[in-house]
Structure 1
C-alpha cells in the first residue's frame, strides 16, 4: 500500500456525545452522523441505489448506506484497512489503494453506480499547507473515480481540507455535475478546514 490514511475525527480517546451515541446505536464511528447530515440535506441515498464508499474504514458509512439502500441496493467499500464489521449481504468491503485502482474494473463487476462517497483524508503531519495539498490530491482522485463509475445523473460527495486549491475543485465539480455545493457538517470540529463538496446530477459524456 502506497499511502496510509486516517480519518480526521476518528480518535480513540475522543469519547464525546456523538461517539457514545454512535456506539449505542451500533455504528462503528461518529462519522456516521456527517453522512446522515449530508444525506438529509442533499438526498443522496434511496432504496435500490448502488453506492461506492471510498475510504470506508471502519465501516460506519457503509452501515448507514446499507440501511438507506435496502436489500435491493448495493454498497461497495474500499479502504487500505479491512472493515471487520458484520455487514448485510448487499455490502462488500475490499482492501484497495485508490491510487492503484482501475475504476473500470468496478463497473465491469458491479455495473455503474448511483452514488460515490469519499471520506478519505491524508495522514496529517501537522503542516497545514502540506496536509491540505494531500487532501486535495485525494479528493481529486475520488472525483476521477466518481466520474468514471457514476451513471449519468449520479451523485458524489467527497471530503477535502479547504486550502488554496479549493476554488479550482469547486469549478471542476461544476463542470462535472448539474449542481455542486460545498458543505460544512455540524459534526465537524470547530475551526476545522474540513468540508464536503457535493455534486448532484453527473453530466452525460
Structure 2
C-alpha cells in the first residue's frame, strides 16, 4: 500500500495563515506600544477613557478653548475622553441641565456632568435633537472623528478630512457668534482648503500638533476661534 501523502496546502489557506501571523504580530506591537506610552498610563491614572484626552488638554492650554459656563457639543465623541475634558473646564451644574453634549453613532457610557446621545449628526433628526438637548446656541464644537482605516494612507487622510469638512459645515449652523471649532485633520496638503474656508468664517485659525499626538501620525488639529455669522 502506498504511503499516505500530505495534502497540499492551498494558496488561500496559506494566505489565511500568513494574515493571521501578521495580525498577531501587529497586535503584539500595539500592546507593547500601549504599555510604554506615558499618555496611556496617565489616562489610566486620572480616569480618562483614552489617551486622546491629553491632546485636547494640551490644545486648551495653548489656545484657551474653554471658559466656565460654556455650552459644548462633542461630535463623534465615543468613548468620551474629550467630553470628560470639556466637563472639567466648563463646569456644568451637576444635578441640573448639562451644558455638554456628546453624540456618536456608537453607544457612550454615561459621563458625569454631560449628556450623551446615540445618533448620527448627519441624520435629518440630529439638529432638532441637539437643539432640544442644548436649547441655547453652542459655544464650542469639538470633532476628533476618524474614519475606519483602509490601510491606504492617502485614502484614510481624505476620509478624515471629509469628516472634518462635514463637521465644520454642521458647526457653522449651530455655533454662537464668537464660538470655537476644534477638529482633527490629516496632513496631506489637501486639507489647506479647509483652513482657508475657516479663515473666511472665523477671526483666528490655528494649526497645531499637540505633544500627545504620536510623532509617526500625520494627524494635526485645527482650532478656529471667533466665529463670524
Same fold (TM over 0.5): yes
How has the CA–CA distance of structure 1 residues 132 and 50 changed in structure 2, closer, same or farther, with 3 Å as cutoff? same
Q: Which aligned pairs between 1:102-121 and structure 2 lie closer than 5 A?
A: 102=125, 104-105=127-128, 106-110=130-134, 111-121=136-146
Indicate whether 1:123 and 2:148 are aligned. yes
Distance in 2 between the 1:74 and 1:12 partners?
A: 36
Alignment RMSD: 1.7
Instruction: State whether residues 183 and 197 of structure 1, in contact with CA within 8 Å, keep that contact through their aligned partners in structure 2.
Output: yes
Instruction: Give 3-state SS (helix, strand or coil) of 1:76's partner.
Output: strand
1:95 alignment partner, one of 102, 118, 121: 118
Distance in 2 between the 1:133 and 1:102 partners?
A: 27
Indicate whether 1:81 and 2:127 are aligned. no
1:48 alignment partner, one of 65, 69, 72: 69
Runs of at least 5 residues in structure 2 that lack an aligned partner in the other structure = 1-28
Greater alpha carbon shift after TM alignment, 157-166 vs 65-74: 65-74
Runs of at least 5 residues in structure 1 that lack an aligned partner in the other structure = 1-10
Distance in 2 between the 1:101 and 1:35 partners?
A: 29
For residues 52-106 of structure 1, the C-alpha deviation after alignment (integer angstroms, 9 at most, x for no partner) is 0011111111111111111246110111211114x22x41111122332556412
Distance in 1 between the 2:48 and 2:87 partners?
A: 12
2:82 alignment partner, one of 57, 61, 74: 61
TM-score normalised by structure 1 residue count:
0.88
Distance in 1 between the 2:205 and 2:140 partners?
A: 14
Q: Which aligned pairs between 1:142-153 and structure 2 lie closer than 5 A?
A: 142-153=167-178
How has the CA–CA distance of structure 1 residues 64 and 125 changed in structure 2, closer, same or farther, with 3 Å as cutoff? same
User: Which residue of 2 is the match for residue 137 of structure 1?
Assistant: 162
Task: Could you list the structure 1 runs, at least 4 aligned residues long, displaced by more than 4 angstroms after superposition.
Answer: none
User: Which residue of 2 is the match for residue 5 of structure 1?
Assistant: none
User: Which has the larger share of helix?
Assistant: 2
Instruction: State whether residues 180 and 198 of structure 1, in contact with CA within 8 Å, keep that contact through their aligned partners in structure 2.
Output: yes
Instruction: State whether residues 103 and 148 of structure 1, in contact with CA within 8 Å, keep that contact through their aligned partners in structure 2.
Output: no
User: Which residue of 1 is the match for residue 199 of structure 2?
Assistant: 174
Instruction: Give 3-state SS (helix, strand or coil) of 1:189's partner.
Output: coil
Larger radius of gyration: 2
